[in-house]
Amino acid sequence: MGRHVLLIEDEPNITEAMRFILARDGWTVSSHADGATAVAAVSRARPDVVVLDVMLPGRSGYDILRDLRADPGTRRLPVMMLTARGQLRDRERAESFGVSHFMTKPFSNQEVLETLNSLVAS
Amino acid sequence: MSFDLLVSVSLVYVGFLFGIAYWAERRARRGGVRWLRSPLVYTLSLSIYCTAWTFYGAVGYASRSGLEFLTIYIGPSLVLFGWWWILRKLVRIGRSQRITSIADLISSRYGKSAMLGGIVTLIAVVGTTPYIALQLQSVTLSFGVFAEGAPGSFPVPDQRPTAIWVAGGMAVFAILFGTRNVDANERHHGVVTAIAAEALVKLFALLAVGIFIVWGVAGGIGPVAERIDASSLARIPLDRGRWLALIFVSGAALLVLPRMFQVLVVENEDERHLATASWAFPLYLALMSVFVIPIAAVGMSELPSWANPDLFVLTLPLAHGQDMLALLAFLGGFSSATSMVIVAAIALATMISNHIVLPLWLSLRKGAPGNLRLVLLSARRLAIAGVLGLGYVYYVWSGGGRELAAIGIISFVGVVQVMPAAVGGIFWRGATRRGAAAGVLLGAAVWAYTLFLPSFGHGVILPDRLFAQGPFGIGWLRPQALFGIEGLDPVVHAVIWSMAANCTAFLLGSITAFPAPLERLQGAQFVNVYDHSQGPRGWSQSRAEAEDLLIMAQRILGPRQAQDLFAGEARRQGKAGFLPDTSPDFLDRLERELAGSVGAATAHAMIGQIAIGTAVSVEDLMAVAGEAAQILEHSIQLQAKSDELSRTARQLREANRKLTELSVQKDSFLGQISHELRTPMTSIRSFSEILMDGEGMDPGARQRFAAIIHDEAERLTRLLDALLDLSVLEHGQAPLNCETVRLRDLIGRAVAATGSVGPGAGLAVRREILEEDVVLRTDADRLAQVFINIIANARKYCDADEPQLRIVVQRHGARLTVDFIDNGSGIRPRDQGVIFEKFSRLSDQSAAGSAGLGLAICREILQKLGGSIAYLPGQGGAAFRVTLPLDISACAA
């Protein structure tokens, strides 16, 4: 079972923190900071799981998720959304688009690892 | 003859008059007898002109002044015969305007002026009072004659109680028949018929006495002519001035005496009656005067020289033992007195109640007029009693012994002061209220000063010295020799001066005053009365079909209400079906109903068109236009109200929209704050957990992660500072620290503060050092904060290969502009509107460490400093213009 994660996140410090904890856990980590080209980046990198921020430059995480779910190649790809806007409305919206897991910032490192591991296991 | 018999005969005669009046009143109410409304009755009713003065006094006048008494007959005859067109116009105006008195005529003509109505009423009361006293005096004297004529038969009655009884009786008669009702047209059929009967009695009595004297005493026409030649009468010279003055005054009096106006105009049934009166009334006057000279001549030759010539008509028959003829003559004199007094009292009471009591009552009882009909009736009854009471007081005061004719003439000259305003008003459109008031008041004042007050005798009211030397010794102001013109007869003197003053004031007042709209309208209606009136008003000659009226009424009142009205009327008339007869009563009621819906003038015009088939008159059109204008006025007011309401609604919608917007903004503001706080906290939490795990980490990484935690903590602090700063600025709590700085130093500080190392250090800042040499008085730290923000933005966002920022300074009087222009790709037009809003960091130009509050803070600061910040489009790159005052006034605070 591959453990390749793609981080779509525009905050460099957050990307660096996640890269460190995931790599330490044995994951292969790639990252992408731009919203507009994120869908293409997913097709190119073919990760096993995607961590998707909502507020991205160029394009919002919701739009990216919708496109991923519309594409047969990525329809079943596990996607965990991370957002600093933790309101109920945002969670419902993400779920209506078919998110695999929704997590608000700030997160605990342990929680991120457990979630991602369970997402690739199922 | 006993006193009791005399009193009994008088009472029976009064009873007879009551009977006539009562009968005529009832007949008139039931549709009447045609001859009651004939021109003959009208002409006879005019005979109230011939009062006791004429009946008794003419003989006395003739024996003192010869033929001069004729002037009193010539004046009215000339008016009726030669100038009946004046009368016709008066009558027509009286009908079309529903005039109730001479005071009403003048008040209406001059824009329904309450003031003029009151003035004319007062003058009429003052002018009529001596005349009523005169009647009381003559009746009382005639009672006395019977006492003297038969010495021993009954004691000479005390004259004053007699006068009181006479006055009281007349008051009762006038009240009973003059104030039975308040009627719009103020007609009194009963009274008019009774005075017509009295006119016959006095004519018959005087002719009988005359015939007895000429043929029974003197023995025919020839001997009478000899006696006249022999008497002093033939030697009395004609005073040409007095003749002209008296003819003028008596002619004018016919037009404006309150009692004459009452019978001539108010009681007039049909203006064609004037044509009959124009020859019949002069004829009546001629018959009344034909035996005056013979009676005077015979009286002077037969009776002792101390006999009062004013009473020859009674004393001559008595001296010849003709008691019954004397009694007839007494009744004739009694008739003359009663008819004059009754009509005068009614006319004055109408004027007093309408022009003095009612205006006062309405102004005292604002809003709650109460039972006006009762007020009017009570006022009239009291006024009648009051007028007769005044007459009695004057009679007692003046001593009751003066010549009848003299009192009559004084009274005439007073009342005639109303004439210029009245006649001028109906022929001259330029006549105005001011002119009328000035003329009447000035004329009356001159009359009072030169004739009325002196008539009480020198030293009674006006002191003796005044007549000899004038007031304050001013000789040319002597009452009977104004402007030093002496030797004139007092009456001529008074007529000339009062009329001259009156007419001059009337003309000058009218020319110099501009009439109010209502006054002009009334003036046009009076002067051009023939153009737009159809004679009698009311619907007496209706040709209306009930069906036509119903169709029209349905259109206005609605089918249901109109049909109910018509069916109800038909039931009242006892008719089967639902269409009533179109009786005048019904038409009046219908007009009132319609007036409630469409206005009085429109209702009148509509019914007029169906009922009489007349074209709508100019008068009607003007009234309709008046109503339409009022409706238009109302609709304009409604329109304004409706505009105001929709404006308010729009403002409310706008306010609501703003509130909703604010609420949305608040939500998104909180969302933004949450995002901006959580982002650095995420890094801090994540890295601190990594550091806490501690294992397998080289010291370099540990160092680096700690640095990140530090940076993010600082970022959080900056964010909180910015938020607090903005909050303070927005709520106006930030104090300004004013100081004097050089712009060049301020910009230098800002450029240095944004740092020439780190990201954006490559930005080349190009300044215009010379232009920057400007001294400012402002809050330097705040202004530096603005400049730092803008320059930092340029360092962050300018995406040119060789980023460059130009700072351009320009002075415009007391203001300064500082432009910051970079050479990047600028801000997209659709974003330019939002960059100054909070958290408006444009997502595709995002840079770490910015929450998007900078420009919002800049905007708030500049607002405080009395300046502004704006984005300048079309400068190649991003360009901001800061505008500042050189010296801010806010510093003073």
Q: What gap in Å lies between CA B621 and CA B889, rounded to an integer?
A: 66
Q: Which residue of A has its CA nearest to B676?
A: A84
CA distance B674 to chain A (A): 6
Q: What is the pLDDT of residue B478?
A: 67
Asked if residue A6 has pLDDT above 90, the reply is yes
Residues 462-521 of B with CB under 8 A from A: none
CA distance B887 to chain A (A): 43
Test B678 with A105 for CB contact under 8 angstroms.
Answer: yes
Tens digits of residue pLDDT in B791-803:
888 888 888 888 8
Asked if residue B671 has pLDDT above 90, the reply is no
Spell out the residues 6+ positions from residue B134 whose beta carbon is closer than 8 angstroms to its own.
B51, B52, B53, B404, B407, B408, B411
Domain count, chain A: 1
CA distance A74 to chain B (A): 26
User: What is the rounded end-to-end Cα distance, in angstroms, of chain B?
Assistant: 113
3-class secondary-structure state, position B884: strand
Q: What is the pLDDT of residue B518?
A: 65
Tens digits of residue pLDDT in B215-259:
877 777 777 777 777 777 767 777 777 888 888 888 888 888 888
Does the model's ipTM exceed the 0.90 cut?
yes
Q: What is the 3-state secondary structure (H, E, C) of B417-485?
A: HHHHHHHHHHHCCCCCHHHHHHHHHHHHHHHHHHHHCHHHCCCCCCCHHHHHHCHHHCHHHCCCCHHHC
Tens digits of residue pLDDT in B82-98:
777 788 888 888 877 77
B141-148, long-range: CB < 8 A, 24+ apart: B141/B56, B141/B308, B141/B310, B141/B311, B142/B56, B142/B311, B142/B314, B142/B330, B142/B333, B142/B334, B143/B3, B143/B6, B145/B311, B145/B314, B145/B315, B145/B318, B146/B1, B146/B3, B146/B6, B146/B314, B146/B318, B146/B326, B146/B330, B147/B3
Test A11 with B690 for CB contact under 8 angstroms.
Answer: no
Strand pairing partners for B885? B815
Q: B151: pLDDT confidence band, cut at 50, 70 and 90?
A: very low
Domain that holds residue A57: 4-121
Q: What is the pLDDT of residue B648?
A: 92
Q: What gap in Å lies between CA B820 and CA B827, rounded to an integer?
A: 14
| Residue B846: C-alpha distances to residues A10, B793, B822, B831, B850 (Å) | 9, 11, 18, 14, 8
Of B290, B268, B289, the closest CA to residue B277 belongs to B268
Q: What gap in Å lies between CA B93 and CA B99, rounded to an integer?
A: 7
Q: What is the pLDDT of residue B620?
A: 59
Q: Which of B667, B672, B674, B679 to mutate to test the interface with A (most CBs of A within 10 A)?
A: B679
Full strand arrangement of the beta sheet holding A28-32: A28-32, A4-8, A49-53, A79-83, A101-104
A73 touching B, CB under 8 A?
Answer: no
Of B682, B797, B844, the closest CA to residue A15 belongs to B682
Peptide bond just before B759 cis, omega within 30 deg = no
What value does the mean pLDDT take over residues A55-68? Answer: 88
Tens digits of residue pLDDT in B176-204:
767 765 554 556 777 888 888 888 888 88
Q: Which residue of B has its CA nearest to A12?
A: B848
Q: What is the pLDDT of residue B819?
A: 92
Q: Which residues of A touch B712 (CB under 8 A)?
A: 13
Asked if residue B152 has pLDDT above 60, the reply is no
CA distance A76 to chain B (A): 28
CATH number at residue A22: 3.40.50.2300
Q: Which residues of B touch A105 (CB under 8 A)?
A: 678-679, 681-682
Domains and CATH numbers, chain B: 3-405 (1.20.1730.10), 546-616 (no CATH), 624-715 (1.10.287), 735-892 (3.30.565.10)
Q: What is the pLDDT of residue B483?
A: 64
What value does the mean pLDDT take over residues A100-120? Answer: 91
Return mean pLDDT, chain A.
Answer: 89
3-class secondary-structure state, position B52: helix
Test B679 with A105 for CB contact under 8 angstroms.
Answer: yes
Among the partner-chain residues A84, A107, A108, the one whose CB lies closest to the CB of B674 is: A84
Contact B167, B391 (CB under 8 A): yes
Q: What gap in Å lies between CA B682 and CA B666, rounded to an integer?
A: 24
What is the residue-wise DSSP string for B350-387? Answer: HHHIIIIIHHHHHHHSTT----HHHHHHHHHHHHHHHH
Tens digits of residue pLDDT in B463-483:
666 666 666 666 666 666 666
Spell out the residues 6+ positions from residue B20 whose beta carbon is closer than 8 angstroms to its own.
B190, B193, B194, B197
Q: Which residues of B touch A11 (CB under 8 A)?
A: 679, 682-683, 848
Q: Which residue of A has its CA nearest to B692?
A: A109
Q: What is the pLDDT of residue A52?
A: 93
What value does the mean pLDDT take over residues A91-116? Answer: 90
Test B678 with A56 for CB contact under 8 angstroms.
Answer: no
B674 touching A, CB under 8 A?
Answer: yes
Residues 824-853 of B with CB under 8 A from A: 843-846, 848
B321 touching A, CB under 8 A?
Answer: no
Return mean pLDDT, chain B.
Answer: 79
Q: What is the pLDDT of residue B158?
A: 57
Asked if residue B381 has pLDDT above 70, the reply is yes
Comparison of pLDDT for B432 and B820, the residue scoring more: B820
Of B8, B9, B17, the closest CA to residue B327 belongs to B9
Residues 3-22 of A with CB under 8 A from B: 10-14, 16-18, 20-21
3-class secondary-structure state, position B770: coil
Spell out the residues 6+ positions from residue B821 whose beta carbon is closer than 8 angstroms to its own.
B805, B806, B808, B872, B875, B876, B877, B878, B879
- Torsion sign (Cα): B481, B484, B485, B487: positive
Asked if residue B488 has pLDDT above 80, the reply is no
What value does the mean pLDDT take over residues B364-369? Answer: 62
Among the partner-chain residues A18, A87, A106, the one whose CB lies closest to the CB of B681 is: A106
Asked if residue A111 has pLDDT above 60, the reply is yes
The proportion of chain B whose per-residue pLDDT surpasses 90, expressed as a percent, equals: 5
Q: Which residues of B touch A88 (CB under 8 A)?
A: none
Q: B372: pLDDT confidence band, cut at 50, 70 and 90?
A: low
Test B671 with A16 for CB contact under 8 angstroms.
Answer: no
User: What is the rounded end-to-end Cα distance, in angstroms, of chain A?
Assistant: 11
**Residue B887 DSSP class:** B
Q: What is the pLDDT of residue B17?
A: 82
Q: Which two tokens stand for residue B71?
A: 């002037």
Asked if residue B724 has pLDDT above 60, the reply is yes
Q: What is the pLDDT of residue A81?
A: 93
What is the residue-wise DSSP string for B329-346? Answer: HHHHHHHHHHHHHHHHHH
Q: A112: pLDDT confidence band, cut at 50, 70 and 90?
A: very high
Asked if residue B461 has pLDDT above 70, the reply is no
Q: Which residue of B has its CA nearest to A9?
A: B679
Q: What gap in Å lies between CA B811 and CA B375, rounded to an integer?
A: 83
What value does the mean pLDDT take over residues B846-875? Answer: 78
Comparison of pLDDT for B63 and B610, the residue scoring more: B63
Of B201, B166, B151, B97, the closest CA to residue B319 belongs to B151
Q: Which residues of A touch B674 (CB under 8 A)?
A: 84-87
Q: What is the pLDDT of residue B536?
A: 40
List phi, psi (to 5°) of B866.
80, 20
Comparison of pLDDT for A56 and B455, the residue scoring more: A56
Test B679 with A108 for CB contact under 8 angstroms.
Answer: no
Q: Which two tokens stand for residue B136?
A: 């009381």
Tens digits of residue pLDDT in B578-606:
778 777 778 777 877 776 666 666 666 67
Rounded CA Rg of chain A:
13
| Residue B567: C-alpha distances to residues B478, B561, B591 (Å) | 74, 10, 16
Asked if residue A63 has pLDDT above 50, the reply is yes
Q: What is the pLDDT of residue B849?
A: 47
- The percent of chain B in helix, strand and coil, each rounded to the nearest 5, is 70, 5, 25
Asked if residue B344 has pLDDT above 80, the reply is yes
Residue identified by tokens 């994540």 is: B686
A55 touching B, CB under 8 A?
Answer: yes
Asked if residue B315 has pLDDT above 90, the reply is no
Q: What is the pLDDT of residue B613?
A: 55
Comparison of pLDDT for B304 and B498, the residue scoring more: B498
Host H or E run for residue A83: strand A79-83
Q: What gap in Å lies between CA B257 and CA B123, rounded to an integer?
A: 11
Test B690 with A10 for CB contact under 8 angstroms.
Answer: no
Test A18 with B685 for CB contact under 8 angstroms.
Answer: no
A104 touching B, CB under 8 A?
Answer: yes
